[in-house]
Chain A
């Protein structure tokens, strides 16, 4: 390559190589985390989550329905199928890093497996109207029944 600047430009090439290497590494790390997190285990119980202004409803596989609260068991995997009846919402269990948009006309999925008994907040994370701030629920993680 013809050098017009009259000085060595190898530091620039090293800089470019380092940036590309870092971007590849960051991309690979993120990609791998996403791959692990999105892979639903076999036998995960499906819970249908419906968001609407301004509350959450949950339907278990056995037909049990809950409004504003969700009861699950420690050590089991749950797959949420997230619907919306009106506007965009976002289903969030902050303590378990569960976050997925609820979009009218779409079914988005996310899964988790609770590890400890306790109660956690469920909230809407997408501004959805006047009472968005109070579109909350409670997650009860309980001991296994069997």
Chain B
């Protein structure tokens, strides 16, 4: 069942994305003189900001997890898999 949902979701994305692309694509009206340097470098810096923030959050979470769930942490509790004679 889940497989079918995922399949339909993937197919929907495959259809919807090109359709939206076509709908919002630049039309025949004359374009303004955009400065491609500004647009491209701004995009680059915005996406680099996103990338570094995501990187910091993900690596920070991993570091915190490793620190918090180490065996020697004062609040560490044994899991059922590790036995109960802690």
Contact = CB atoms under 8 A, between A and B. Distances in A.
B5 to A, nearest CB: 13
A35 B25 contact: yes
Nearest to B28: A42
Interface residues of A, number: 25
Contact of B35 (A26, A30, A35, A113): A113
B47 A22 contact: no
Q: Is the interface of B mostly helix, strand, loop or mixed?
A: helix
Nearest to A27: B17
A43 to B, nearest CB: 8
Given A35-B25, A96-B37, A26 B47 contact: yes
A33 B40 contact: yes
A35 B36 contact: no
A110 to B, nearest CB: 9
Interface in A20-72: 22, 25-26, 29-31, 33, 35-43
Interface in B10-53: 21, 24-26, 30-37, 39-43, 46-47, 50
Contacts of A40: 31
A28 to B, nearest CB: 10
Given A29-B47, A30-B47, A97-B41, A37 B30 contact: no
Given A26-B47, A29-B46, A37 B34 contact: yes
A80 interface: no
A131 interface: no
A29 B50 CA distance: 11
Contacts of B42: 33
A75 B33 CA distance: 9
Given A33-B39, A41-B30, 5 more contacts: A22-B50, A41-B33, A42-B31, A112-B36, A113-B33
12 contacts: A29-B46, A30-B43, A33-B43, A35-B26, A36-B31, A39-B34, A41-B30, A42-B30, A77-B33, A95-B37, A96-B37, A97-B36
